[in-house]
Structure 1
Amino acid sequence: QMDSRGIKRLLFSYVLINGIFITLQTKEEVLLDMRASGSELGWLTWPYEQGSKQGWEVVQRSLNGSQLYTYSVCNVGEHEQDNWLRTTFIQRRPSASRVFVELQFIVRDCNSFDGSSLTCKETFNLFSSESDADIGTSFRKGQFKKVATIAPDEITSRNELRINRETRVVESLSRKGFYLAFQDIGACMALLSVRVYYKTCPATIKSLAAFPETVAGGGVNQALREVAGACVENAVSEESPRIYCTMDGEWVVPVGQCQCKPGYEAVNDTCRDCQPGFFKAFVSNDACELCPVNTKLLSSGALFCPCAEDFYRAPDDPTTGPCSGLPSAPRELVATTTQLAAGKLQLSWSPPEDTGGRSDISYSVECRRCEGTACQPCGEKVRLEPASSGLVDTRVAVSELEPHLNYTFTVEAHSGVSLFASQGTPHPPKVTSMRLDERSLTSLSLSWAVAPRRPVPQPTRYKLTYRKKDDNLDVTTYTVLILEKSSVQISDLSPGTAYLFRVQALSPEGSPGGSSIEDEFETLTEGKEDGHISEDTYFSSSEQLKPLKTYVDPHTYEDPNMAILKFASEIHPSHVTKQKVIGAGEFGEVYRGILKAPGRKEGAVAIKTLKPGYSEKQRQDFLSEASIMGQFSHQNIIRLEGVVTKFKHAMIVTEYMENGALDKYLKDRDGEMPSFQLVGMMHGIAAGMKYLSDMSYVHRDLAARNILVNNNLECKVSDFGLSRVLEDDPEGTYTTSGGKIPIRWTAPEAIAYRKFTSASDVWSFGIVMWEVMAFGERPYWDMSNCEVMKAINEAFRLPAPMDCPSAVYQLMLQCWLQDRSKRPRFPDIVSLLDKLLRSPESLKAIADFDPRVSIRLPSTSGSDGLPFRSVSEWLESIKMSQYSENFTCAGVVTMDQVLQMKNVDIKNIGVRLPGHLKRIAYSILGLKDQTSTLSVFAV
């Protein structure tokens, strides 16, 4: 007869030999698989006593060349058992807040022992504990919370093995990882397998919308997780597509159907372009249609089928319908003289033999009278009844004819397409706007937009005329170009010279259309390069695109729509594809999307939308930002691609900035970027602001949150027009009689008197410089707006951020001079930053840093004489609360212990990011200075 330990090992060997571990593969992502690890598990047992036979034990066996491990315990003869087995740290996927724990185990029947097991149990407990870092061998029972008591369905006797399989759910996980622990309270059992996993809904395409792989279920007590999708390529949707992922990893209830764009049809899960000879004119999931009669068969992807030669569509005909020919002449014209003496006769005729395929046939009658060889219209002297044109019947009565004169009558047949008989095609479109795309010393690249028109004509050519602006009008030299597309690059121009341009659209026969307004553009001046300064891609030339005119406030227009028409290009909504929501603006959601317009390169864009239920005033306020942006053209100003105004859902389309807002970008890279790179970003912002100030535009809301960053780390000024009330961030604004303004970024005179000038923008730029060097830290920390204003009026200025070059901090202080006339101008700022970048050694001198100023101190101190009562309170004050558990696990629980720490100690407890390491170290340095005296500036 074997003892309990012998029985335990025998049972486990039996399990391994028979290989009965079975894992069903479903829609699961495994985080831990005890059986599949194949190596030493490294799980922690407690209590651990060297040489003791008590507690959990690991047993290793080989099966088919693989190493398998199990844990067992069997102390049924001992009193008050409390044996713990803890897993290693289990990393959690951020969105997996709910995981499943699948257990395989055996439990021996307590009745199978010889009466010496009065304390024997047949259950054990499952616990969990969350953590942001691996705490190693540190173990405290108080860290764990109970998940469930596990009771076997099958009890193992001496002669028969019974393997149990149980699954439990651990919910509400929110930290970077977690531990599982198993508590034995006196059972004889073996833990054969532990598998931890979460379920996912696999990536899928439904209703032409693509949805990513998603962790199943929602949060606590939520059975569904809402998932946003994106329409597949060449599909669009008015409503953002979304779907729900159940806890069982199944997709249910899709919302917001995507439909194929014009020129594409739904085939399986894609939008395929229409095949040659087929077309589709509208957004839908209908199949492409066969081109109607009398049309040309275009290549694939046709939105419509143009009319064949000598066939036309009437202005009111749908572009999806057939084309018609011109009617032939009426037949059998007869004049019947009923009362010739009275000057009357009857004209009649037969309909044309060929109506051109139309039923809207009408007739007109022309009368001419001749005396000798001279003929002229009859005029009103001759009456035709019922009329001389628009006749539906094939007869007309003529009266008031004079004797002894020759009369000639001509009858013409007309239809809806007869207007094309003399023109051949409709009038060419009107050019609505021109824009400057690129320029150099001797060249300008221009493009223009045209008003939409119907019926759709043949491809349009353009006539471009230009001259020097300062030419004497008596001897002006014009250059004329005939172009096949709506863009041109003009070379061999004079440097620093303004030119006037005018564009006309031409029909294929050369007939002109409406002219655009005359626009003025200027080449670069000598000494300036095109586009970029070669030394670094972060910097743009301060004279890169010299403003040619003064900014025009769109609110001065009596009709705001005229400002939109003048300064922004209209985009057809079918050319814009929304992909995913990337933010929320004042008026609605902001999407990442694709702009694919004819004649333009396809590219990523940001799309601002207007939420439903808007008023007309909200619509005008929304579009006014486009009227502002459309006047700017500079590398460091966000570029307006165009607007959608002629359809139900208004949109503003701008270039897409991959790295998003500057403040968030810097927060995510705290301490990871060198000063030279940060100053380069400031240089770009300053160049953009110089351009705006040269145009007499005052931004009024310059802040890091309103600077966008692209993949090349170019910074671009955005979010124009603080004429709107800023309601997004009540804590960041201060109400006055004239609206709300962002206090932390606003100059004192603008707060007190609402005097916004380029000088007040310079003050704001100084705050932006501080944000950049502080890696996105909030200006003035958690001071209230009233405290900020009081401090500024008492001459307090933000201290230098850590590792800030002295020259940069001195420029900040110059920007914050109380007398606005003494602040530097943006040209001065650009010049100074340029000099710093050309002499990197000038950035090596670091400004004095006082950690006592940059940390918010409470008004009272703790009992230990320090300004903080606990370690957690101190960490919260420096925005480092995520490391509270690291300090606790390392045994650093008092502020006195904190003061004894060195850099190596901070690293050893798990602080790895350079920026976080610096912040904690500098704070400790500051606290040491405060043990006898509190801070100079305690808020």
Structure 2
Amino acid sequence: MASGDELGWLTWTLNGSQFYTYSICNVEEREQDNWLRTTFIQRHPLASRVFVELKFIVRDCNSFDGASLICKETFNLYTSESDADVGTTFRKSQFKKVATIAPDEITGKNEMHINTETRVVDGLSRKGFYLAFQDIGACIALLSVRVFYKTCPGTVQNLATFPETVAGGENQPLTKVSGVCVDNAASEESPRIYCTEEGKWAVQVGQCQCKPGYEEVKDACQECRPGSFKAEASSDACEPCPANTDTLQHGAVLCPCKDGFFRAPTDPSTGPCSGETRPPSAPRDLSAVRQPSVGRLILSWTPPEDTGGRNDITYSVECQRCDGVVCQPCGERVRYEPGSTKLTEARVSVSELEAHLNYTFIVQAHSGVSQWASGAQRPASRSNVTIFLHYTGEHPPQITSMRLVGQTSTSLALSWDVSPRPRAQLHIRYKLTYHKKVSIFSYRQPLSKGHFFLNGCSSVGILLKALEQKKNCYKGFHVLLMLKEENNKEIKKRNSHTRQGPEDTYFSTPEQLKPLKTYVDPHTYEDPNVAVLKFATEIHPSHITKQKVIGAGEFGEVYRGILKAPGRKEVAVAIKTLKPGYTEKQRQDFLSEASIMGQFSHQNIIRLEGVVTKFKHAMIVTEYMENGALDRYLRDHDGEISSFQLVGMLRGIAAGMKYLSDMSYVHRDLAARNILVNNNMECKVSDFGLSRVLEDDPEGTYTTSGGKIPIRWTAPEAIAYRKFTSASDVWSFGIVMWEVMAFGERPYWDMSNHEVMKAINEAFRLPAPMDCPSAVYQLMLQCWLQDRAKRPRFGDIVSLLDKLLRSPESLKTIADFDPRVSIRLPSTSGSDGSPFRSVSEWLESIKMSQYSENFTCAGIVAMEQVLQMKTEDIKNIGVRLPGHLKRIAYSILGLKDQTSTLSVFAV
């Protein structure tokens, strides 16, 4: 940046310090139009976005006697792009307005205040640009102008080197950058990272790892020292050579055995060497303890007396079931915890056993040489125990499976299998109940009941008739199967169906039919992995196909893809991935969102399809929302959606929030950017991330692991006292209502966070958006009541929106809209009351520059002609979209009424 004296600035002394300044103070003269232009500023070829930092002083107009009525306290910043330096040539028409600059503090007669303001100039594409400053009657001194762009600095992360990268602009918020692994490091996939528009590195994908024989030391890979080794490429450090091995080399991949010691053929090459290798003896003292209350058996034993000189002892369990004299393997029906093979503890839990059968359990001990040392003289390394399981008549046989075996347009044929039972149980009565579905979590009274008797059979079936059908899909019937014995004691049985598909009936237990009353915080689980398994369905990665990167999340890339699970139709999904090289805490934080989402089931809450946790690359899979985030969708369809449709979208969001509120879940970050829209314009609440922490920073923002959340969506009590409740979510919903009715406009426009907090505390509330129904705006104001106890509940909001949708005529009364207030329209004049110089300048200010050619072709080239236009005239030149038509018409109305310029606080 050029220094002040090179620019020809004047010197000025303030508080003993010398400043270069440009100053002007013609406050007593009317119609001021003073301009100051910079020299030509060369643009970095990749810097499409620059920041302009201004330091300036503005005198208080009240300090001038008699001049306060025409005195101004603001000035304007303009810019103009060029491919070459035009020297002293200056044309105001070539400059476009960036912002009106107002001071935070004004200077009085006896005090001086230096203000600092930063503005963004985006969308630059030519070789350079000029900045210009327009004064229209203020007493101002410009102390400095600093122009800069942001870069992500060159860095080494996870052993990958990334070059310095220029940050992108509004149209490219994330810049993908490829990296190179450092020497002696490698990666399965090319390392890459994203540079944000704020000049910060975001998400790295493809972690580099030190090659075999090298370990990570301060962003580099160094050779393993003698006496240590590393066999594989990983993030691990070199390990000391195991027992009876050694190496004198640097960078060893393996440690050879010392003389007189060796490894068995099946021993890992990284393991210790032994001078004596033999299989272990049999486990001892095998015993079985029954736990009838929970329906399981605990097997335990004592380790072998002789381990064969090895410490890699594991155990396996075999099971046989005997009915009379016939014995056969138990098969997959029996469940073992933690498993049936490669057990390291001398204990296992066995469940899903059937009554009235003999079970024989065989436990074997193994070591690394159990296979090849078969010639060793050893007693059999196995122990066995036989146990007879007997239950009284209070426990009926189990329903082992349930199937849909046939169907017509009005009937279903069902059958189920039962486990073997004693001869004494010859008459078992089954009760089959089915219910008409209202929603996934509620059902009405039974439509029909049936009682059936079974005499010595292993399966039973029933035909259900007169079922209602819609479009080849049975319209919401829950089938509940109950076993009922002659003593009338009912025991509900679960079956395997979990979701209703186009050709399936929805089967569920009574527990599944009832709504979850309270949200369970997954962080209360001692082991977060248990929470994931409890609330989310595990998906095999082979069922997932990634198609295209659609974004970068906090932990990795987000893909659009396809989920094709067995027995289900192919569905489009969004796939959140966890970047390689994650820590265990990052993995738990990543999966915690799934633990939260998995507890929700509502048509207006984003649906969790499942997770991938048992494989190397963890993933969260959700339904795919074709139209993306609500705020961008609204901006892309400005004026194309009717008020009735917008209220319908709000009703869906409110219904989702009512569901969350009923579950005692507080969202904390409800905003249009966190609402997703599908092809049917159905809105669903998303973003169930980690808890937010209030930071003491100048912007008063909430810091999350995913970035900073602006306070403009947050209730006052949540900002001041961290009081997050459903009532604070209601305040946020009011802001979402405003965003929706304003077609994605940013709440509070370009006000700073400090200005927003100050305005809210002074009882300012956002004015009604253009063409907003009065009833909808009144509901917004109710959501923004200072006293949180007086705000409506989400149930009340849903009821009111339903009432409006049932009576569309109630949406015809429009809330008052003052086009002079700088809300939807950036301004109604060129600069603080001065008229626009051209039609194109006016259209650009209201973001309607796409119609410049329409006005020119119609011969409307002067603002005086614009002021004479009526709605029909606007239509005749080709403006057809209702939203665009109203925007231009309201702007013309505002231009006609320029008697005063109102600030946003004057509403």
Q: If the length of structure 2 is used for normalisation, what is the TM-score? A: 0.46
Look at both structures and tell me which one has the larger radius of gyration over its CA atoms.
1
